[in-house]
Amino acid sequence: MSVTFTQLKKEEAQERARGISKEMLDEYKKYITDLNVGSVGTLEFTADENVNLARTALKQAATDLNQHIRVRKPIKPGNVIYIERLSDEELNEMEKAMKNGTKTPSKPKEVAKK
């Protein structure tokens, strides 16, 4: 029997279990840091790319950076997602609206395509 034992940091093991590579996280961290607060960026995917995995990776990258983002899918099924980097004030507004059961504020913003 041939077995290979590998030891990983807990975070890396969790990322691997979700299918998120370090390279993907690093790429998405760059997008998040490049995006100005109050702006919206878009990511466009090919048909064979997993958009749901990308959403999860974006959220993880933002958490790693201690940044707040909102990730939105288009109204119609598609291969584009929108990323909005939130200020602390916008995050507080959103959390307050969710707590009160009201719809979160949604206003058009400047779109920066990646």
Give the model's pLDDT for residue 108.
43
Note whether 53 and 103 are within 8 A (CB). no
Give the model's pLDDT for residue 79.
83
Spans of the chain below 70 pLDDT: 16-17, 74-75, 103-114
Nearest partner of 62 among 45, 83, 39, judged by Cα: 83
Q: Are strands 110-113 and 80-86 parallel, antiparallel or unpaired?
A: unpaired
Report the alpha-carbon distance of residue 113 to residue 100 in Å, rounded. 33
Record the pTM.
Answer: 0.69
